[in-house]
Amino acid sequence: MTPHATDHPTARPDTATAAAAPHRHRDPGPAWHRRVPARALLVSAPVLFMAIVTVTDLLTPDWLHIAPVLAAVPVLAAALLPRWATAALACATLVITALLQWAAGSCGRPDADVTLAGLFVVGLTSLAACALRQRRDRQLRQVRSVAETAQRALMHPLPHRAGSLALSGVYLPAESEARMGGDFYEALRTPYGTRILIGDVRGKGLPAVGATSTLLSAFRELAYGEASLTRVAELLDARARRHIAALDGDPGPARPAGRGRDALFTERFATALLVEFPPGDRVARLVHCGHPEPYLVRAGEVRPCEPDRPGAPLGLGDLLTAEPAAQTVPFGPGDRLVLYTDGFIEARDRLGRFPDLAARIHAHAGRPLEAMVAALRRDLLHHVRGDLDDDAALVALERLR
């Protein structure tokens, strides 16, 4: 973690891709090798199409000419290739069409001249479309670069080790081009032990990113200054309520007329789960704030850590009477704890079915921690066929000794 180098002796390289968000596993191997020839075939499609049409035109009878179909070549090139290649193929299309007309004895006829003029116009249009596509590609790359930098500053990579704990995490945004959403996590080594936060801000876009930044910044400060984990949760809730009030231009507890507190606060909140591993104790202390319960993996068995007294989501603390309460769970060597956001349990497949995260954890429990997290990621993407409707984050921890 950048601001706390002493807390994070090593950064986990396999949770960051070189050109994607820094919390995502990349699965090399067969899928990657399949993409390379597929891309090469796609790029060569205009040339192959031009060759097929040319040969077919030469083999067809004199009364049937399919050379005008070559107009599709510069159009394909504009969608797949750079401008110089598009221009070259557009010129090649004109030359080949003229040669085919000459071979068929139709060169100079009005219909042949119209065909050549049409190809010329299509070529110019394709060049303009290619230039527009390349400009938008450059803009997209710039946006991606800014988004990646913002995410690295906002949500730091998890450490590979934190004391006697091994950690591994994965973050999947709902939008394929996005780099940051409303899910978040953080791990810190503090005087009170290693503390973990995972949460999910309701909503998407910049408001969700702003709320995420507020909560992560507050947690990084409170985790070091507050001895009680429940107190950290209470202060996070207060910070969330102040953030909501600031967004609505309301500095105090009084609300403008016509805007009830229930309507206001149920629109903006964040679920969260705080976990603490006290030094010297083989236990995990959890504080639930409206968040899905984590799974404890022990000796190959998987069971949910359901809270005795679940607390209110962050931002709703003054509406609900449920106060944060700590739950202590034995956590010895070899035990694992899997924290996640609802994207891992509410993502529907094409038939509307939810994934069974507990079953998938049980299936991969015998693997090393990193391999288990990578497998859970693959299972989720396979379940939704790569089309996530919501952000998804998961953090797995294992006590080593």
10-66 pLDDT tens trace? 333 333 333 333 343 434 333 434 444 556 666 788 888 888 888 888 888 877 778
CA distances from 328 to 117, 275, 325 (A): 79, 10, 10
Quickly tell me which residue has 């789960």 as its tokens. Answer: 273
Whether residue 179 is predicted with pLDDT greater than 70 in this model: the reply is no
In sequence order, the β-bridge partners of residue 218 are none
First to last CA, the chain: 23
Instruction: Quote the Cα angle for 359-363-368, to 5°.
Output: 130
pLDDT classification of 349: cutoffs 50, 70, 90? confident
Contacts for 88 with CB less than 8 Å, ≥ 6 apart: none
As given in the structure block, the two tokens for residue 157 are 């990579």
Query: Are the CB atoms for 25 and 60 separated by under 8 Å?
Result: no
Contacts for 148 with CB less than 8 Å, ≥ 6 apart: 20, 21, 22, 179
| Model pTM above 0.85 | no
The span from the CA of 262 to the CA of 215, in Å, is: 21
Contacts for 95 with CB less than 8 Å, ≥ 6 apart: none
Query: Are the CB atoms for 229 and 326 separated by under 8 Å?
Result: yes
As given in the structure block, the two tokens for residue 50 are 């031009």
In sequence order, the β-bridge partners of residue 208 are none
Q: Which amino acid, 114?
A: V
Contacts for 44 with CB less than 8 Å, ≥ 6 apart: none
The span from the CA of 97 to the CA of 127, in Å, is: 19
Tens digits of residue pLDDT in 288-322: 998 999 999 998 899 999 888 888 888 887 777 77
The span from the CA of 289 to the CA of 322, in Å, is: 9
Looking at 203-320, list the stretches that DSSP marks H as alpha helix, in order from N- to C-terminal side: 205-225, 229-247, 261-265
Which stretch of DSSP H or E encloses residue 138? Answer: helix 110-154
In sequence order, the β-bridge partners of residue 170 are 394
Whether residue 177 is predicted with pLDDT greater than 90 in this model: the reply is no
As given in the structure block, the two tokens for residue 304 are 């949910």
DSSP-derived 3-state class of residue 215: helix
Give the pLDDT score at 180.
59
Tens digits of residue pLDDT in 199-234: 988 766 667 777 888 889 899 999 999 999 999 999
The span from the CA of 48 to the CA of 239, in Å, is: 61
